[in-house]
């Protein structure tokens, strides 16, 4: 809640052309922390898009490149919980156009091979996310509380990933 209030205050002061103060510095630092949380997978397309690995693709991803557990989590539940928290932070900071870009392991491998790169390189994964943004298979976020969850688990959003942001 405090994050939202600080960001709202910061935007309002900027709109009123008031001088930057300590609270505005705090708002900037908090926003930088948010950007760091999603920077590898973020694509600006008049909104924010985050790279999402569906369950089967996530399992394939970690089987092929186990080092990516550092970037995406030890298991699929950690991956989708981290994405849910990051998306909620984006939403609370005032960003309204949010989406998830669905990744596929073979596409990532092909994308990296075309450039002679390593798929575990953060820059390659960011390039892949940007590529997906140009050829979108995006999932709009947030879904309605009673709609199917964005993660594909087959449950309603309110019973699946919505509570994960609160944990």
Q: Distance (Å, rounded) from C-alpha 49 to C-alpha 47?
A: 7
- Is 157 a domain residue? yes
Q: Is there a domain that residue 118 lies in? A: yes
Among the residues of 16-153, which ranges form H helices? 22-38, 55-64, 69-72, 76-92, 105-114, 122-134
Is residue 21 in a domain? no
- Residue 125, in any domain of the structure: yes
Q: Of 159, 59, 58, which is closest to residue 100 (Cα–Cα)?
A: 58
Judge whether 159 lies within some domain.
Answer: yes
Q: What is the pLDDT of residues 84-104, one digit of tens each?
A: 888 888 887 777 778 888 999
pLDDT tens string 17-67: 888 888 878 877 776 666 555 544 444 445 677 889 999 999 999 999 999
Counting the structural domains of the chain, the total is 1
Asked if pLDDT for residue 73 goes beyond 70, the answer is yes
pLDDT at 148 over 50: yes
Q: Facing residues of 99 across strands?
A: 49, 140
Its domain, for residue 135, covers 40-166
pLDDT in tens, 107-124: 999 999 998 999 999 999
Model pLDDT, residue 14: 77
> Per the domain annotation, does 4 fall within a domain?
no
- Residue 130 CA to residue 43 CA, distance in Å, equals 6
Q: Please tell me the pTM assigned to this model.
A: 0.64
160 in a domain, yes or no?
A: yes
pLDDT value for 39: 47
**Residue 148, domain member (yes or no):** yes
């Amino acid at each position: 809640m405090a994050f939202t209030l600080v960001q709202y205050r910061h935007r309002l002061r900027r709109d009123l052309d008031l001088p930057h103060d300590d609270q505005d510095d705090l708002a900037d630092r908090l926003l930088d922390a948010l950007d760091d949380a999603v920077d590898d997978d973020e694509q600006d397309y008049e909104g924010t898009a985050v790279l999402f690995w569906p369950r089967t693709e996530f399992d394939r991803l970690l089987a092929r490149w186990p080092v990516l557990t550092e970037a995406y989590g030890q298991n699929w539940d950690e991956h989708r919980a981290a994405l849910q928290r990051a998306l909620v932070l984006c939403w609370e900071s005032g960003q309204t156009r949010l989406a998830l870009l669905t990744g596929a392991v073979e596409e990532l491998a092909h994308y990296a091979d075309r450039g002679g790169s390593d798929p575990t390189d953060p820059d390659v994964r960011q390039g892949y996310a940007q590529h997906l943004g140009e050829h979108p298979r995006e999932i709009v976020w947030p879904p309605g509380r009673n709609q199917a969850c964005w993660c594909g688990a087959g449950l309603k959003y309110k019973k699946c990933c919505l509570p994960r942001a609160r944990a």
